Structure 1
Amino acid sequence: MTAMKLESYAAGQWIGPGPDARAIASAVTGEEVAIAGSALDFQAMLDHARFTGGPNLRAMTFHDRARMLKALAIHLGERKDRLYELSLHAGCTKADSWIDIDGGIGTLFVFASKGRRELPDAHVYVDGGIEQLSRNGTFLGQHILTPLQGAAVHINAFNFPVWGMLEKLAPTLLAGVPAIVKPATATSYVAEACFRMMVESGILPEGAVQFIAGGTGDLLDRLTPQDVVSFTGSAATALMLRSSPHILQNSIRFIAEQDSLNASILGPDAGPGTPEFDLFVKEVVREMTVKAGQKCTAIRRIIVPRAVEGDVIEALKAKLSRTVVGDPSAEGVRMGPLASLAQRRDVLEKVAVIGQEAECVHGDPDAFSVEGADAKKGAFVPPMLFRCPDPVGAASIHSTEAFGPVSTVMAYDALDEAVALANRGGGSLVMSLITHDPDVARDVARGAGAWHGRIYINDRDSMGESTGHGSPLPHLTHGGPGRAGGGEEMGGVRGVFHYMQRTSVQGSPNMLGAVAGTFVPGSKTFETDRHPFTKPFEELQLGETLHTKPRTVTLEDIEHFAHFTGDTFYAHMDEDAAAANPFFPGRVAHGYLLLSFAAGLFVEPSPGPVLANVGLDGLKFMKPVSPGDSIAVALTVKRKTRRTDTYGEVRWHVVLTNQDGETVAEYELHTMNAYAGAS
Structure 2
Amino acid sequence: MYTVENFLMGQWVKGEGDGQLLYNAVTGEPIANATSKGLDFAAALHYARSKGNPALRKMSFHERGLMLRALALYLREHLEELYYISYQTGATKADSWVDIEGGIGNLFSYASLRRKLPDTPYCLDGEHHPLGKANTFMGHHLLIPKEGVAIHINAFNFPVWGMLEKIAVNLLAGVPAIVKPATVTSYLTEAVVKRIIASGILPDGALQLICGSAGDILDHVQSQDVVTFTGSATTGLMLKSGKRILAENVPFTMEADSLNCIVLGEDVTPTMPEWDIFIKEVRREITTKSGQRCTAVRRIFVPENKIEDVQKALSAALAQNIIGNPLNPKVRMGSLAGETQRNEVKAQVNKLLETSSILYGSLDSVEVLDADPIKGAFVSPLLLLNENPFGNSNVHEVEAFGPVATLMPYKHTEEAISLAKLGKGSLVSSIVTTDPTIATEYVIGAGNYHGRILVLNDQCAKESTGHGSPLPLLVHGGPGRAGGGEEMGGLRGVKHYMQRVAVQGSPDMITAISKVYQPGATGNTPTIHPFKKYFEELVIGDQLITEKRLITAEDINAFADLSGDHFYAHLENTDFNGTMFEKQVAHGYLIMSMAAGLFVDSYEKNPVLLNYGIDELRFTKPVYPGSEMHIRFTCKEKIRQEKKEPTDIDKGIVKWLVEMIDETNELTGIATILTMVAKKPIQ
CA distance in 2, matches of 1:326, 1:446: 41
Of 556-565 and 408-417, more deviation after overlay is shown by 556-565
Q: How far has the Cα of 1:100 moved from its partner?
A: 0.2
Is 1:662 equivalent to 2:666 in the alignment? yes
Is 1:214 equivalent to 2:212 in the alignment? yes
Is 1:90 equivalent to 2:89 in the alignment? yes
Is 1:603 equivalent to 2:603 in the alignment? no
Match of 1:9 in 2: 7
Q: Given residue 82 of structure 1, which amino acid in structure 2 is its aligned partner?
A: E
Match of 1:554 in 2: 552
Q: Given residue 70 of structure 1, which amino acid in structure 2 is its aligned partner?
A: R
**CA distances 1:39-74 after superposition (whole Å, capped 9, x unpaired):** 311121111111110000000001100000000000
SS state at 1:672 partner: strand
**Number of residues of Structure 1 aligned to a counterpart in Structure 2:** 675
Whether the aligned pair in 2 keeps the contact of 1:233 and 1:258 (CA below 8 Å) is: yes
Matches within 5 A, 1:492-641: 492-575=490-573, 577-578=575-576, 580=577, 582-605=579-602, 606-641=604-639
**CA distances 1:258-298 after superposition (whole Å, capped 9, x unpaired):** 11100000001111111111111110010000100001111
Match of 2:380 in 1: 382
Q: How far has the Cα of 1:18 moved from its partner?
A: 2.2
Q: How far has the Cα of 1:357 moved from its partner?
A: 0.6
Match of 1:123 among 117, 121, 124: 121
Q: How far has the Cα of 1:677 moved from its partner?
A: 1.4
Is 1:652 equivalent to 2:649 in the alignment? no
Normalising by structure 1, what TM-score? 0.98
The 1:400–1:658 alpha-carbon spacing in structure 2 relative to 1, beyond 3 Å, is same
Match of 1:181 in 2: 179
CA distance in 1, matches of 2:581, 2:156: 67
CA distance in 1, matches of 2:335, 2:319: 16
Deviating above 4 A after TM superposition, structure 1's stretches of 4 or more consecutive aligned residues are none
Matches within 5 A, 1:244-393: 244-393=242-391
Whether the aligned pair in 1 keeps the contact of 2:106 and 2:472 (CA below 8 Å) is: yes
**CA distances 1:608-630 after superposition (whole Å, capped 9, x unpaired):** 21111111112222222222221
Q: How far has the Cα of 1:575 moved from its partner?
A: 4.8
Q: Given residue 608 of structure 1, which amino acid in structure 2 is its aligned partner?
A: N
Q: How far has the Cα of 1:519 moved from its partner?
A: 0.6
CA distance in 2, matches of 1:254, 1:643: 35
Whether the aligned pair in 1 keeps the contact of 2:18 and 2:33 (CA below 8 Å) is: no
Q: How far has the Cα of 1:121 moved from its partner?
A: 1.1
Q: Given residue 642 of structure 1, which amino acid in structure 2 is its aligned partner?
A: R
CA distance in 1, matches of 2:239, 2:361: 36
Whether the aligned pair in 2 keeps the contact of 1:158 and 1:339 (CA below 8 Å) is: no
CA distance in 2, matches of 1:599, 1:258: 54
SS state at 2:531 partner: helix
CA distance in 2, matches of 1:78, 1:14: 23
Whether the aligned pair in 1 keeps the contact of 2:303 and 2:409 (CA below 8 Å) is: yes
Is 1:53 equivalent to 2:57 in the alignment? no
Identity %: 50
Q: Given residue 64 of structure 1, which amino acid in structure 2 is its aligned partner?
A: E
Match of 2:647 in 1: none
CA distance in 2, matches of 1:161, 1:32: 18
Matches within 5 A, 1:417-456: 417-456=415-454
Q: Given residue 380 of structure 1, which amino acid in structure 2 is its aligned partner?
A: F
Whether the aligned pair in 1 keeps the contact of 2:366 and 2:378 (CA below 8 Å) is: no
Q: Given residue 468 of structure 1, which amino acid in structure 2 is its aligned partner?
A: G
Q: Given residue 598 of structure 2, which amino acid in structure 1 is its aligned partner?
A: L
Matches within 5 A, 1:69-84: 69-84=68-83
Match of 1:672 in 2: 676
Whether the aligned pair in 1 keeps the contact of 2:136 and 2:506 (CA below 8 Å) is: yes
The 1:460–1:576 alpha-carbon spacing in structure 2 relative to 1, beyond 3 Å, is closer
Is 1:408 equivalent to 2:406 in the alignment? yes
Is 1:150 equivalent to 2:148 in the alignment? yes
Q: Given residue 139 of structure 2, which amino acid in structure 1 is its aligned partner?
A: G
CA distance in 1, matches of 2:321, 2:278: 17
Match of 2:646 in 1: none
CA distance in 1, matches of 2:460, 2:390: 32
CA distance in 2, matches of 1:193, 1:598: 58
CA distance in 2, matches of 1:350, 1:559: 76
CA distance in 2, matches of 1:270, 1:497: 41
Q: Given residue 601 of structure 1, which amino acid in structure 2 is its aligned partner?
A: L
**CA distances 1:87-119 after superposition (whole Å, capped 9, x unpaired):** 1111000010000000000111011012x2211
Q: How far has the Cα of 1:142 moved from its partner?
A: 0.7
**CA distances 1:329-351 after superposition (whole Å, capped 9, x unpaired):** 12311111100100000000000
Whether the aligned pair in 1 keeps the contact of 2:15 and 2:39 (CA below 8 Å) is: no
Q: Given residue 272 of structure 1, which amino acid in structure 2 is its aligned partner?
A: P
SS state at 1:390 partner: coil
Q: Given residue 386 of structure 1, which amino acid in structure 2 is its aligned partner?
A: L
Whether the aligned pair in 2 keeps the contact of 1:570 and 1:577 (CA below 8 Å) is: no
SS state at 1:504 partner: strand
SS state at 1:290 partner: helix
Match of 2:163 in 1: 165
Q: How far has the Cα of 1:581 moved from its partner?
A: 5.0
Whether the aligned pair in 1 keeps the contact of 2:156 and 2:293 (CA below 8 Å) is: no
Q: How far has the Cα of 1:183 moved from its partner?
A: 0.8
Ranges in structure 2 where 5+ consecutive residues have no aligned partner: 644-649
Match of 1:196 in 2: 194
CA distance in 2, matches of 1:582, 1:250: 59
Whether the aligned pair in 2 keeps the contact of 1:125 and 1:516 (CA below 8 Å) is: yes
Whether the aligned pair in 2 keeps the contact of 1:158 and 1:186 (CA below 8 Å) is: no
**CA distances 1:492-544 after superposition (whole Å, capped 9, x unpaired):** 11111111111111111112112211111111112122011111111000111
Normalising by structure 2, what TM-score? 0.97
Ranges in structure 1 where 5+ consecutive residues have no aligned partner: none
Whether the aligned pair in 2 keeps the contact of 1:359 and 1:387 (CA below 8 Å) is: yes
Match of 1:398 in 2: 396
Q: How far has the Cα of 1:35 moved from its partner?
A: 1.4
Q: How far has the Cα of 1:584 moved from its partner?
A: 2.4
SS state at 2:378 partner: coil
SS state at 2:88 partner: helix
Whether the aligned pair in 1 keeps the contact of 2:365 and 2:379 (CA below 8 Å) is: no
Q: Given residue 564 of structure 2, which amino acid in structure 1 is its aligned partner?
A: G
CA distance in 1, matches of 2:515, 2:30: 55
Of 127-136 and 668-677, more deviation after overlay is shown by 127-136
Q: Given residue 58 of structure 1, which amino acid in structure 2 is its aligned partner?
A: R
Whether the aligned pair in 2 keeps the contact of 1:571 and 1:577 (CA below 8 Å) is: no
CA distance in 1, matches of 2:245, 2:141: 27
CA distance in 1, matches of 2:319, 2:621: 72
Is 1:40 equivalent to 2:62 in the alignment? no
SS state at 1:430 partner: strand
- Over the aligned positions, Cα root-mean-square deviation in angstroms equals 1.3
SS state at 2:618 partner: strand
Q: Given residue 168 of structure 1, which amino acid in structure 2 is its aligned partner?
A: K
Q: How far has the Cα of 1:215 moved from its partner?
A: 1.5
